[in-house]
A and B are shown apart, each in its own frame.
Chain A
Amino acid sequence: MSERRPFHRPQPRHWWAHKPYLAYTVRELSGVAVAVYGAILLAGLICLWRGPEAYAVYRRILSSDAAFAVHLVLLAAMLWHVLTWFQILPKTMPKLILRGRPVPQRQVTAIALLVAMVCSAALLVVVVAIGVTS
């Protein structure tokens, strides 16, 4: 007679709050920060659409200390999101083979980060230039 009686151990309930999974949890939460910032921008657009008074209220709220603090936190989360996004990038693409050898994943991340920084800086220059000339 078989004595088989496999025991099913449950997954730890708070696995996401412990190492090594905590980094993953923080990475995913930084995505929520990106969504929140998107919602703030969308609210600005809606206020702009509703008229000058609504937009003035939106600008007054944004110039408060609390809004400044929130934006600092969102900026930090956004930067973390960018960094971790490009850390995952090489995991999501086929191996790059150059001269018969796979390109190291760290190199893919570094190049993508560099491109993102150059694009962000260029965008900033364009926005400032438009602001100065208008």
Chain B
Amino acid sequence: MSDATIPSKSIELRVLRYRPASDREPVLVSYRVAYSDDMSVLQALQSIKDTQDGSLSFRWSCRMAVCGSCGMMINGEPKLACNTFVRDLAPDAVIIEPLQNFPIERDLVVTVGDFVKKIESIYPYIIPKVAKPVEDGAHLQTPAQMAAYESFSDCINCMLCYAACPQFGANPDFIGPGAMALLQRYNGDSRDGGRQFRLDQIHGEDGVWACTAVGICSEVCPKQVDPANAVNQNKTNSALDFFLHYVQPRSQP
């Protein structure tokens, strides 16, 4: 074992805890954790759960910034606990809270139901432009056509962008940056023909127009998806669609 992996220093973690059966409201609870240089905040929380308080609840799965489960507020910033290192936060005490703008279920676990509904509402799958039987081969795409949507397909649904968005904080019905990134992933795909169905979901004040281009969603994104770009380029699309619907006939999904 190298020196870097032997816990030699300790740090205070102040975790916002909420146990619905006993707590009237969330309270900060302090824990001291021994850490090594390669320890993530997620590992620090796991160490608390293993050795100090087994009732501490938080979501996690992959431990490598792929699954998007361990998003939380770390010193007020939305971050993935698995790719935030304790060594970068030491020696000061670290405040860990559940993601801002979401109802708290328990401790660091937030309610994700509304977010999943938003994802479902924008037809998150390719609706082929032209029907093509399997025996006719694959739908081909050039590298340039792929580059037009590729970054938007990197979203891991971690919801950090929602926690950073003050407009989502003010209006929980706002479709939000993450769902819009997914929408643009499909609307920007040359093989897709479902653009109109998706645009119909994002008009109005709960759609793209709730966004005021604050832009912090893109800054906190751990995958450089740039959801602010997805939302704001669709304001133009939404406005164009509003005027075009007077002159173009529409089909129903």
Contacts and interface: CB of A to CB of B under 8 A. Distances in A.
B169 A4 contact: no
A95 B166 CA distance: 25
Q: Which of A5, A8, A93, A102 counts the most B-chain CB atoms under 10 A from its CB? A: A5
A93 B103 contact: no
A90 interface: yes
Interface string A90-104: 111111010111100
Contacts of B148: 94-95, 97, 102
Interface in B151-209: 151, 166, 169-170, 188
Interface stretch (B36-44, B60-68, B128-136, B210-218): B210-218
Contact of B166 (A3, A8, A11, A99): A11
Nearest to B229: A91
A102 B235 CA distance: 21
A21 B15 CA distance: 24
A16 interface: yes
A50 interface: no
A15 interface: yes
A51 interface: no
B248 interface: no
Q: Which of B25, B105, B142, B170 counts the most A-chain CB atoms under 10 A from its CB? A: B105
A90 B20 contact: no
B5 interface: no
B10 interface: no
Closest 6 CB pairs of A and B: A6-B103, A11-B169, A5-B20, A100-B144, A92-B232, A100-B143
Interface of B: 18, 20-21, 25-26, 98, 100-101, 103-105, 111, 142-144, 147-148, 151, 166, 169-170, 188, 212-216, 218-219, 226, 228-229, 232-233, 235-236
18 contacts: A4-B20, A5-B20, A6-B20, A6-B103, A7-B18, A9-B98, A9-B103, A11-B100, A11-B101, A11-B166, A11-B170, A15-B166, A16-B166, A24-B215, A88-B213, A95-B151, A101-B144, A102-B147
